Amino acid sequence: MSSDGSAGDRRRVSHVPTGVDKLDASITGYPRGRTTLIMGGAGSGKTILTLHFIAAACARGERCVQLLTEEEKDDIYSQARSFGWEMEKYEKDGTLTVVEILPERVGGMRLPEKFQDFLQFIKVPKGANLVVDNMSVFGMAAEAIRYRERMDSLVFKLKQQGCTTLLVFDDDLEAAMRSALMHSTFSVVRLFKRDNPFTDRRERAMEVIKMRNTRIPSSHIFYEITDAGIFIEGEGKANFTTVKS
Ligand SMILES: Nc1ncnc2c1ncn2[C@@H]1O[C@H](COP(=O)(O)OP(=O)(O)OP(=O)(O)O)[C@@H](O)[C@H]1O
Ligand SMILES: [Mg+2]
């Protein structure tokens, strides 16, 4: 059985909106109660993608938790504010809980050890929307096999908890870790930049590498980052392929 317990469970999963205009027409949304990996290089838009998800879920009044391991809350809030989202308001009314572990990291906390029980550490309520930005710090110096075990156990616990989770990872992980992650999680979305030789433009694009029990687009989805956040170009892709992995 796969780590998220999905083997044999071919019922259609429902999806939680991404919060990005036109994106749900392409990727349907994030599988509810499951874990999605958001991978991408530096500056590819991972954090902004997760902010769309959290801001939209908070606006619907759903419980959200953000675990920040790399950036301070102030910086995240000011990025969100630049797009018109007042995260402080949601934090004050109890819709959003933000946990920062940068201070603990700076203070020498041993992250790989913390990984195992970090669910208790952050006390995620049942059914909450959870973002961990960024998970890569938990993988440093871990052996691939131990890392896979930890990921499987984390993804399993999150499913039991009914959390719809986005785990952010950097693209430049070593191959064994990357492969462990891809197999442990229910769906994988990758953000990247590429040079278009015809226009000399640097384009931003995302691809759905997998999303179990869900139709996924067969082509890349192009986007820009604007003063309103992620802007999907075109109308969203019409080409779908049905993949059950
Ligand atoms: N208002 C804006 N207009 C255009 N681009 C913007 C705007 N706000 C932020 N950006 C761009 O968005 C990109 C950063 O997005 P984001 O922080 O989500 O990336 P990331 O993948 O999380 O990066 P990191 O690896 O550093 O965590 C930067 O390249 C930044 O210049
Ligand atoms: Mg980021």
- What pLDDT does residue 138 have? 74
- What pLDDT does residue 7 have? 42
The 10s digit of each residue's pLDDT in 109-139 is: 555 555 555 655 567 899 999 999 998 877 6
Ligand 1 in contact with 202 (CB < 6 A)?
Answer: no
34 C-alpha to center of ligand 2: Å?
21
- Atom 13 of ligand 1: nearest residue by CA position: 43
The 10s digit of each residue's pLDDT in 146-182 is: 878 888 888 998 999 999 999 999 988 888 888 888 9
Domain ranges of the chain: 15-238
Percent of the chain with pLDDT over 90: 56
Ligand 1 in contact with 227 (CB < 6 A)?
Answer: yes
95 C-alpha to center of ligand 1: Å?
25
pLDDT at 2 over 80: no
Q: Which atom of ligand 1 is nearest to the CA of 50?
A: 18
Model pTM above 0.85: yes
CATH 1.10.1530.10 for domain 15-238, yes or no, is no
169 C-alpha to center of ligand 2: Å?
9
The 10s digit of each residue's pLDDT in 41-61 is: 999 999 999 999 999 999 999
**Ligand 1 pocket: which of 20, 37, 38, 47 to mutate (most atoms <8 Å of CB)?**
47
Q: Residue by residue, what is the 3-state secondary structure of the chain?
A: CCCCCCCCCCCCCCEECCCCCCHHHHHCCEECCCEEEEEECCCCCHHHHHHHHHHHHHHCCCCEEEEECCCCHHHHHHHHHHCCCCHHHHHHCCCEEEEECHHHHHCCCCHHHHHHCHHHHHCCCCCCEEEEECCHHHHCCCCHHHHHHHHHHHHHHHHHCCCEEEEEEECCCCHHHHHHHHHHCCEEEEEEEEEECCCCEEEEEEEEEEECCEEEECCCEEEEEECCEEEECCCCCCCEEEECC
